[in-house]
Structure 1
Amino acid sequence: MNSKASAYQQLDDRNALVERHAPLVKRIAHHLIARLPASVLVDDLIQAGMIGLLEASRNFDGTKGASFETFAGIRIRGSMLDEIRKGDWTPRSVHKNGRAITDAINKVERETGRDARDVDIAKKLDVSLDQYHQMLGEVNAGKIIGMEDLGVTEDVVTTEQTKGSDTPFEDLLQGSFQKALAHAITTLPEREAIVLSLYYDEELNLREIGEVLDVSESRVSQIHSQAMLKLKSKMQTWRIEE
């Protein structure tokens, strides 16, 4: 096969990958939109996701051992998050409250030696329980609280099969972080761990998780926000093991 024919074949293969995985873009977009303010349009996420899918089709290397869907999913979601971050609609007060909650969780757990409960955090913040839940709702509505906020980037999420590290230290760093994060998740209260599992592993949205747990969607939002802020607090002290 001459070089021109080979180039056309590669283009056809990429186009076929994009066409076959276009529904994946919509699925990820609708999963993300459930936790974003109404000002974010699902069509904008889909458009950004399609760009990520196109990039994935150009950069995918099937010899690395990972499936294209796994590789593309990371690229698609990353492209959508980049699009969202271009415009920060979140008031500074919400950012401030998010940091205050994280600090309060950290202080409570250092002082008590146990997991911080809603009432403990509210007391440390000197607000009522209802006010604390309202703060959680605002943080969740105004910002994506996800694994990216813990420092888990594409480089960390990607397995060794999909990406080779440049140095042995990077392999150690990534493995140590993932181990520390996995341990931190096991220290969460059962309901918070279940919400994270249903959201990130099973890819259920907040409404669907509420139906599983028989609680309101707003309560699931609170549980999710608190769990992620707890993890963020725990991972602030993470250091690579000697």
Structure 2
Amino acid sequence: MYTAKGRLDNSSLIKQYSPLVRRLAHQMIAKLPANVELDDLIQVGLIGLTDALSRFDVGQGVQFETFATQRIRGAMLDELRGGDWMSRGTRRQQRTIEQAVHKLEQKLGRAPQESEIAVEMGVSLTEYQELLGKVRGTQLVYLEDMSGDDGDEDYLDRHVADDSNNPMALLQDHRMRQALVAAIKNLPEREQYVMSMYYEHDMNLKEIAAVLKVTESRVCQLHSQAIARLRVKLREW
């Protein structure tokens, strides 16, 4: 598309390729933690599209969509790498919870109750539940969890980059999903409900609270507790 002066009509091209940005964002967010916002990825992707328009050279012999896809995906990955996923203090608190859960599961042979986890951590039940509220938005997978032993392998490169033609990556993803499904089935019943409503039915905290007849803060606590249990199981996997 060109203007009357024979230049690329950027406005029309951005409109034409906006669906490509959205498609790439949806593909990417499916492999990312729940706290990553789709709209943020789309906005960054549009910046990548604009950059592609300014840099594209027909003489390179590459189709614009192929060139733009690389630029859009690259912009999204750069944004994710530079993002502050979770404060160090919050991560330490999350791991303390996970360590207590893991120790009690080994000792009891079942999923520990919140009161038992609180005792293991040396805090009151109220203090423990307040802590669950503080780690709200906890990720199921941290980027550093997925790095290689030598630290040079990046989660984003292996799991978010275009791996549609990588059989090993697809197999790992399938196994990960199977492990996750199995772990969810072993959650306490109420936590299973929260995970199902939040992730499968796209219900927000207020809607889930209404169904369970509890407060939104309690739903947040249950969600954080479920994530802690799942991370323990997935780390074993």
TM-score by length of 2: 0.64
Give the aligned length: 196
Q: State whether residues 18 and 46 of structure 2, in contact with CA within 8 Å, keep that contact through their aligned partners in structure 1.
A: yes
Structure 1 stretches of 5 or more lacking a match?
Answer: 2-6, 26-33, 37-41, 62-71
Return the alpha-carbon distance in structure 2 between the equivalents of residues 80 and 203 of structure 1.
25
Return the alpha-carbon distance in structure 2 between the equivalents of residues 203 and 82 of structure 1.
26
Where does residue 206 of structure 2 map in the other structure?
Answer: 207
CA separation of 1:8 and 1:116: change in aligned 2, threshold 3 A: farther
Percent identity, please. 29
Where does residue 172 of structure 2 map in the other structure?
Answer: 173
Where does residue 128 of structure 1 map in the other structure?
Answer: 124
Where does residue 237 of structure 1 map in the other structure?
Answer: 236
Q: State whether residues 14 and 49 of structure 2, in contact with CA within 8 Å, keep that contact through their aligned partners in structure 1.
A: no
Greater RCO (CA < 8 Å, at least 6 residues apart): 1
Q: State whether residues 53 and 75 of structure 1, in contact with CA within 8 Å, keep that contact through their aligned partners in structure 2.
A: no
1:137, distance to aligned residue in structure 2 (A): 1.1
> How do 1:107-122 residues align onto structure 2 when only pairs under 5 Å count?
107-122=103-118
The answer to whether 1:102 aligns with 2:98 is: yes
Q: State whether residues 136 and 222 of structure 1, in contact with CA within 8 Å, keep that contact through their aligned partners in structure 2.
A: yes
RMSD (CA atoms)? 4.3
1:230, distance to aligned residue in structure 2 (A): 0.6
1:146, distance to aligned residue in structure 2 (A): 2.9
CA separation of 1:202 and 1:103: change in aligned 2, threshold 3 A: same
CA separation of 1:11 and 1:103: change in aligned 2, threshold 3 A: same
Where does residue 18 of structure 1 map in the other structure?
Answer: 18
Q: Which one of 43, 55, 70 corresponds to residue 50 of structure 1?
A: 43
Q: State whether residues 206 and 221 of structure 1, in contact with CA within 8 Å, keep that contact through their aligned partners in structure 2.
A: yes
1:231, distance to aligned residue in structure 2 (A): 0.4
1:123, distance to aligned residue in structure 2 (A): 1.3
1:119, distance to aligned residue in structure 2 (A): 1.2
TM-score by length of 1: 0.62
Q: State whether residues 132 and 225 of structure 2, in contact with CA within 8 Å, keep that contact through their aligned partners in structure 1.
A: yes
